[in-house]
Structure 1
Amino acid sequence: MATILLADDDAAVRDLVRRALSADGHTVHVTQDGLEALDCLGTNLASIDVLVTDVDMPQLDGISLAEKALHMKPAIAVVLMSGFSDQLERAGRLRVRKLLSVSKPFTLEQIKQVVRTVLA
């Protein structure tokens, strides 16, 4: 199973995603914004396999967080979550081999499947 860094400023979404991914056997580091996620990534860089992040967050948004994460660890897989499809267009500039997105709202099974796919 993988170690996942989760960043989302919505507590309900964080809890849903954490429960779903933990139920699949993953270790999930939960953070409430991009800056906290960046700190967590720096501390746990070697063990993080996947970044799952909301696109729209204050201070450091998910696209910028993903760019910084990829600079630190080019092999990291990225899953972007967004309620606005136009925000996902910005992801085109990311240079990442494993990038998937999921539109909010999503089900427990949908987020589990996206993470399974990006890990495959």
Structure 2
Amino acid sequence: MARILLAEDDDSMRDFLAKALERAGHEVDSVADGEEGLTALGEAPGGYDLLLTDIVMPGVDGIELARRAAEIDPRLKIMFITGFAAVALNAGANAPAQAKVLSKPFHLRDLVNEVARVMEAA
């Protein structure tokens, strides 16, 4: 399965998503914001397969995190999660080309299935 870096500023949502992905067999490292995400990307031995990030976060937002993550590791798959439809519509303008956007609310099964699709496309 995939090694995933999850960046989500909402503590309960982050825990909920991480547990669902771990139950699906993925290895998940969770961070609370984009700055922590950048640190994790730089310190992860062997890197990550997938960055799963909220778009709207304080400080370094998810789009900037994804852009910088793609510079660090061009093979990294990227998925955005957001509760803001307008942000989702505009994310493509600044986000790495390969990024996928999953809009909240979504069922955990949809998240797990979408992660599987993104990883199969690798």
Counterpart of 1:95 in structure 2 is 96
1:25-104 paired onto structure 2 within 5 Å: 25-44=25-44, 46-88=46-88, 89-97=90-98, 99-104=99-104
Shift of 1:13: 1.1
Counterpart of 1:111 in structure 2 is 111
Query: Which amino acid in 1 is paired with 2:26?
Result: H
Could you tell me the TM-score, scaled by structure 1's length? 0.93
- State whether residues 66 and 96 of structure 2, in contact with CA within 8 Å, keep that contact through their aligned partners in structure 1: no
Query: Which amino acid in 2 is paired with 1:91?
Result: G
Query: Which amino acid in 2 is paired with 1:93?
Result: N
Question: SS at 2:53's partner residue?
Answer: strand
Can you list the C-alpha shifts for 1:28-79, whole angstroms capped at 9, x where unaligned? 0000000001100100163300000000000000000000000000110001
Query: Runs of 4 or more off by more than 6 Å in structure 1?
Result: none
- State whether residues 21 and 28 of structure 2, in contact with CA within 8 Å, keep that contact through their aligned partners in structure 1: yes
Question: SS at 1:48's partner residue?
Answer: coil
C-alpha distance in 1 between matches for 2:34 and 2:95: 16
Query: Which amino acid in 2 is paired with 1:113?
Result: N
Distance 1:111 1:75, change over 3 A: same
Q: Structure 2: which 5+ residue stretches go unaligned?
A: none
Shift of 1:19: 0.9
- State whether residues 16 and 108 of structure 1, in contact with CA within 8 Å, keep that contact through their aligned partners in structure 2: no
Q: CA RMSD in A?
A: 1.2
- State whether residues 63 and 91 of structure 1, in contact with CA within 8 Å, keep that contact through their aligned partners in structure 2: no
Q: Which moved more, 1:84-93 or 1:25-34?
A: 84-93
Can you list the C-alpha shifts for 1:12-35, whole angstroms capped at 9, x where unaligned? 110111011101111000000000
